[in-house]
Amino acid sequence: MGTDGPAGRPASGRAARPAEPPPAARLVTWTSAFFSHPNQVAALFWAGGAVASASALILVRWPASSRLALLAVTGVCGAGAAVRILLGARPRRWALHLDLATAVLAVSILAAVGAAGHVAFQDLYIWIGVFATLYLPFRGALVQTGAAGAAYAAVLAVGPPVAQPVAAWLAVFGTLGVAGTVTFMLVSYLRGTSLTDPLTGLANRRSFDQRLEEEMRRALRTGAPCSLVVADLDGFKAINDRAGHAAGDRVLQDLSKAWRSEVREGGDFLARLGGDEFVVLGPGSGAVGGRRLAKRLEATLPAGLAASFGVASWDGSEAGQDLLRRADEAMYRAKAARRAQLTRSRGA
């Protein structure tokens, strides 16, 4: 087992230039990256509202009061898009709620104005529901959708007369209900698959990176210790070559099951980084706790399996990826020491 220090990974040969991914893969990657940032999507939605209200303002003859309302909403939507473009950081949940509440107010004004000009601005409520189900938990999305429904009901009750107001409300919010439900189910499924390793059921690299960032922020606030244990199986490729990939998969599954029982439930965070490399994040655990955990993991390795472990404890100021790098380097030193020991024992 290795501990953190200045040494890095063993030098390797010059890496081959990776092949250019096909256009479809690049499109999927870009789409995933775009929708993973609520600010970008909110900016797109605000810009869409600005275009819708500005287009109606230009193309339809409106009374003076309606023109003023359309101008105001266009300005609010344009400002919302600009703010979201300028704010590069991921917005807090309260900011998303504020965006949606403002959007409900803006669409309600447009719906009241559009009733006189026969423009179906009320359809924009559907986009509010879609955005809410994309980025809010179920309860938050339900609250925002309910607020939108109540706002449109108020518009139909006290605003300009609309033929068959109940049918108008049901048409919009029946569609919103179906679209929101489908969106929420798809998002829930994709979140689960994007954060879980399908073979072992453990958290994957993306999920680990998110958790590491959260724990580093918490540690900076509280000053609590934090440790990382990185583990890499020794000779795993030989198992695949000798017994086949199905056997290798079973080894990884058995190992994951054994290690789940050794980590603190609700405390330690076990993840598969990829291939035969695993990591355990130990919030509130220092260097001693990290070394003890590594020994427990080593003691529960399935028969005939060996692994190299690297342990690093947070220095109180470094970023999470720097902590991971030090643990990774410690693991590679442990692996090199194990190989050297095996070489000496064979030569003896």
Per residue in 310-332, pLDDT (tens digit) is: 999 999 889 999 999 999 999 99
- pLDDT tens digits, 279-296: 999 999 898 999 999 999
Whether residue 7 is contained in a domain is answered as: no
Distance CA 204, CA 170 (A): 42
- Tell whether 211 and 188 lie within a shared domain: no
Whether residue 140 is contained in a domain is answered as: yes
DSSP for 117-167 reads HT--GGGHHHHHHHHHHHHS-HHHHHHHHHHHHHHHHHHHHHSS--SSHHH
- Tell whether 208 and 110 lie within a shared domain: no
- pLDDT tens digits, 74-122: 999 999 999 998 887 677 888 899 999 999 999 999 999 998 778 889 9
- Residue 276 annotated as catalytic: yes
Whether residue 2 is contained in a domain is answered as: no
Phi, psi of 227 (to 5 degrees): -135, 160
Phi, psi of 149 (to 5 degrees): -65, -40
Q: What is the pLDDT of residue 116?
A: 76
Whether residue 1 is contained in a domain is answered as: no
Q: Find the catalytic residue in 197, 276, 315, 322.
A: 276
Is it the case that residue 4 has pLDDT exceeding 70?
Answer: no
For the chain, the domain total comes to 2
- Tell whether 176 and 34 lie within a shared domain: yes
Q: Which residues contact 275 (CB under 8 A, 6 or more apart)?
A: 236
- Tell whether 204 and 137 lie within a shared domain: no
Domain of residue 262: give its range. Answer: 199-347
- Tell whether 313 and 212 lie within a shared domain: yes
- Tell whether 67 and 132 lie within a shared domain: yes
- Tell whether 213 and 233 lie within a shared domain: yes
Whether residue 280 is contained in a domain is answered as: yes
Domain closes at, from 195, 212, 229: 195
- Tell whether 163 and 303 lie within a shared domain: no
Domain closes at, from 169, 195, 221: 195
Q: Residue 224's domain is classified under what CATH number?
A: 3.30.70.270
- Tell whether 67 and 215 lie within a shared domain: no
- Tell whether 157 and 30 lie within a shared domain: yes
- Tell whether 309 and 330 lie within a shared domain: yes
Whether residue 308 is contained in a domain is answered as: yes
- Tell whether 137 and 234 lie within a shared domain: no
- pLDDT tens digits, 172-196: 999 999 999 999 888 887 776 678 8
Q: Which two tokens mark 15?
A: 């890496």
Whether residue 16 is contained in a domain is answered as: no
Whether residue 287 is contained in a domain is answered as: yes
Please tell me what DSSP assigns to residue 205.
Answer: H
